[in-house]
Structure 1
Amino acid sequence: METMIGVIGGSGVYDIAGLEDARWVSVDTPWGKPSDQILTGRLGGMRMAFLPRHGRGHVHSPSTVPYRANIDALKRLGVTDVIAVSACGSFREEMAPGDFVIVDQYIDRTHLREKSFFGTGCVAHVSLAHPTCARLSALCLQAARALDLRVHERGTYLAMEGPQFSTRAESLMYRDHWGADIIGMTGMPEAALAREAELCYASVAMVTDYDCWHPDHDAVDVAAVIKTVGQNAANARALIAALPGLLSSRHAACPQGCDRALDHAIMTAPDRRDPRLLARLDAVAGRVLGAQT
């Protein structure tokens, strides 16, 4: 299979410069419309698809992003490796505004979002013990270090519902008692859905502020956040531009098994599966469902 990079751009990252044969394409999915059209082309000779998570002009709040449609659309286009870029707040003094964090764990505090492609009529359970792809994350780390960015090789991301920021009591609890390193509003269920879709997924979080636990940042100033987002965006684009030179043009089997996550995940007996749900799963789970019919 030919490698195709899918980039999900967060706050401040709304396009990718330098794409050859670039064009915005519309992708229909059984889960509704994605956040926006998807920008496709080639970067460094490698196929790439870019999707602005909030839509151009930032029209979707974190809770209304169509996460299932976004992941389905990327899989439907042939994406093999997803790099998710997002803004975040920091719970750690050493993870300062302007730093990048390669996320390796999540704590999910969201509750208003559809969190799975599966359900009544086709039940499946995938492992999220290691919710991001170690191979792809390591390449993002390598790219960041080559660019001399301040980057942290791991971090636990607390996903909150939003759109409001945390109270100070919440911020202190997440930091001191739950062991979270950073906080954002879009990391989940995106990472979990990518795993269900058997996509290698890496998350690059860009620190914009210290959350309100910090004695000098007791209120998150949106203007200051936006300024840092703009500074981070240029670095994020440079990191993305470096990835085609690090990835093989042929997508080999993932050592972690991200691309085989559904091998033993589907619980519903073949004769009890809902054909209507199976039809919606054609892109996400076609590899295993086709083999089981």
Structure 2
Amino acid sequence: MSRHWILLLGFLSLSWFWASRADAAQVCQDVMVGMSPGGNGLAPHAIYQTQCAWVAGAIAFDVRTRVYSAAWNHASADEALDAAIAQCGRHCVGQSFYTDFVWVAMADDDSAYGVSLKSAEDALRQCTFSGGRDCAVVLGGSSTAAPVYWGFSALSYDPATGASGRSFERRRRSVAVAEATERCGAPGCWTFAYQGGYAAIARSADGRLFAEWTPQKNVLINAERKARSACKRATGDKECKIVMSAGPEAVADDTARFIEETKRQLEHELERIEREHGKFPADAEQ
């Protein structure tokens, strides 16, 4: 029976994500308000004044499809909300705001969500109190910047066979876990899920596994060091070894492999069609 160890929501990769409270946002710029007449040997020059204005933002999302959109740097909250909904679709839930940040938590089973202008923790509480299962903060927005979606990645490893599998940047934790476990393909696959950054799995001499994760701003070696330390503390085994690790760089590798696999499948399908039906007319004329 496969065992799934799911990382609870911790410190995510962007430092502002865990700001304790959102503050109202202003955009300031220097505006020319006149010209100096010059004199006493000085040439005329522009006179500037710093002018600030409150700016509004909005975020819109569909819990079921995880489609989302946002608007920022708008003059009014209504204007920002209309823009976000227009991009996302009328079926989407929308929230406008004048604050620096907004956080959105969603249940893994799409049963609930939470939106907070205060903190990520508050969004998570709202989602949980609404009956959501396995809620996680996945979306962040700002009245002055583009939104960010924090996807889920997973590593899966079987200590008995050495089989492994991984999944990157999926919209739901359960999808990342299922995909990594399936790719691992062995009965004893042990799966660790995380959001962003780097992760590593360490194995003790007796086959026990320990996983750790670090934010994106840290390097892979930090995740490996943490996993090895956790293994040593729990087992006393000074020879704990890293058996699997991954970071953002692996996403590109995973995508490249997917493209190559898809290309090979298409080539095989084309060969099958040619065997059964002959070459396409364009090929036959050449």
Q: Is the TM value for this pair above 0.5?
A: no
Give the TM-score band, short-chain normalised.
Answer: under 0.3
* Highest RCO, 1 vs 2 (Cα 8 Å, sep ≥ 6): 1
Return the TM-score normalized by structure 2. 0.27
* Bigger strand share: 2
Point out the structure with max Rg over C-alpha. 2
